[in-house]
Amino acid sequence: MHSTEPVVDGYTQQDLCQAVELLAAAEEVTVLGHLNPDPDAFGSAIALGLALKERGARVRVSFGAPEELPASLAVLNSGDLFVPASAVPATASLLVTVDCANPDRLAGLADLPRSTVAAGGQVLVIDHHLSNSRFGTHNLVDVAAESTTVIVLRLIDALGATLTEPLARAVYAGLLTDTGSFRRARPSTHEIAARLLAAGVDPSATGRALTDTHPFARLRMLSSVLGRAVLEPEAARGLGLVHTSVQLADLVGLPAEEAESVIDIVRSSSEAEVAAVLKQAGPNRWTGSLRAVGRLDVNSAASAFGGGGHRFAAGFTTEGTLTEVQDRLRAALAAAPLV
Ligand SMILES: [Mn+2]
């Protein structure tokens, strides 16, 4: 069991054993996903939380922002584990972060890894982002994993936890969304999905709740946002860039999470290798989402802003006017390496 032979990219069998020992011994655990959680972040936290709760641990699941659980994630919220960020204590004997590349992704809870270690606790980092800074006392980072929920499932199996339907649904949610609805799937991805469906997951109801259900007011928001989309064929090293912005005025009467689905519409433009959506987070503050079809490394472009992610899907937060951020984005994409 305790060989140092790598089982997968980024961590060894020994790393996995140590993480299992840490989780198996834990009596009280705080599990945090990244801010503005997606189904992989929240699904990973809930799946792990349910497995630890079954073992008798006291578990809380949270994320740095927003305070409320986004409506689209309610379908994953099992086991009464979620608490708002304001109810998370400043230290934990065991802190687990899931799908977070660095402490900044914890937003208002970004100091917890440091304060937990200072108080003698342990920090387990579970992630699949290329840009992960391995900020835990223990790190399970596998950049080849389809989703963070897949790494969590390996831990759940090693703990001998029961694959109940709510737990399987949470794992499935991350797998579904992080593979682009199984477009980026290997044969083994479908073997994992088969196990989850056999555990009782309803793929139609789960998929619809996670990605195909929005408030009516989103249609008007899309109308303005898509109406100002711009195609720049010469940008992104001549491979083409399509971009737009979601401004604060567009989101009046809508939860901020509704901005997250815009990138999936913008990226469908056949003339552009790269799609970008700049979401306004304050008067001069922007969060960017970048997607590439498969020829340009947008993780590298995002890192020019201090962000990161995966080669073909990355993000960043930055300050400036919209025009300034757009100019810096063009420059970052012009310098991004081809794959
Ligand atoms: Mn993920």
Q: Where are the domains of the chain?
A: 13-211, 217-335
* Separation of CA 19 and ligand 1 centre (Å): 19
Query: Residue 16 has what pLDDT?
Result: 96
Is 13-211 a domain of CATH 3.90.1640.10? yes
* Separation of CA 88 and ligand 1 centre (Å): 22
Q: Are 236 and 333 in contact (CB under 8 A)?
A: yes
How far, in Å, are 164, 175, 177 from residue 198 at the CA level?
10, 15, 19
CA dihedral 213, 215, 217, 220 (to 10 degrees): 0
* Separation of CA 148 and ligand 1 centre (Å): 5
Query: Residue 1 has what pLDDT?
Result: 39
Is 217-335 a domain of CATH 3.10.310.30? yes
* Separation of CA 100 and ligand 1 centre (Å): 8
* Separation of CA 147 and ligand 1 centre (Å): 5
Distance CA 243, CA 22 (A): 44
DSSP secondary structure letters along 56-101: T-EEEEEESS-SSPPGGGGGG--TT-B--GGGS-S--SEEEEES-S
* Separation of CA 136 and ligand 1 centre (Å): 18
* Separation of CA 234 and ligand 1 centre (Å): 31
Tens place of pLDDT per residue across the chain (339 aa): 344 444 556 899 999 999 999 999 999 999 999 999 999 999 999 999 999 999 999 999 999 999 999 999 999 999 999 999 999 999 889 999 999 999 999 999 999 999 999 999 999 999 999 999 999 999 999 999 999 999 999 999 999 999 999 999 999 999 999 999 999 999 999 999 999 999 999 999 999 999 999 999 999 999 999 999 999 999 999 999 999 999 999 999 999 889 999 999 999 999 999 999 999 999 999 999 999 999 999 999 999 999 999 999 999 999 999 999 999 999 999 999 999
E-strand spans in the chain? Answer: 6-8, 11-12, 28-33, 58-63, 94-98, 122-127, 138-141, 230-232, 241-246, 274-282, 285-292, 308-310, 313-319
Distance CA 165, CA 172 (A): 10
* Separation of CA 196 and ligand 1 centre (Å): 18
Distance CA 137, CA 122 (A): 6
Within a 13 Å sphere around the CA of 245, how many CA atoms are in the beta-carbon half?
Answer: 17
CB count in 10 Å sphere of residue 256: 16
264 CB contacts (<8 Å, ≥6 apart)? none
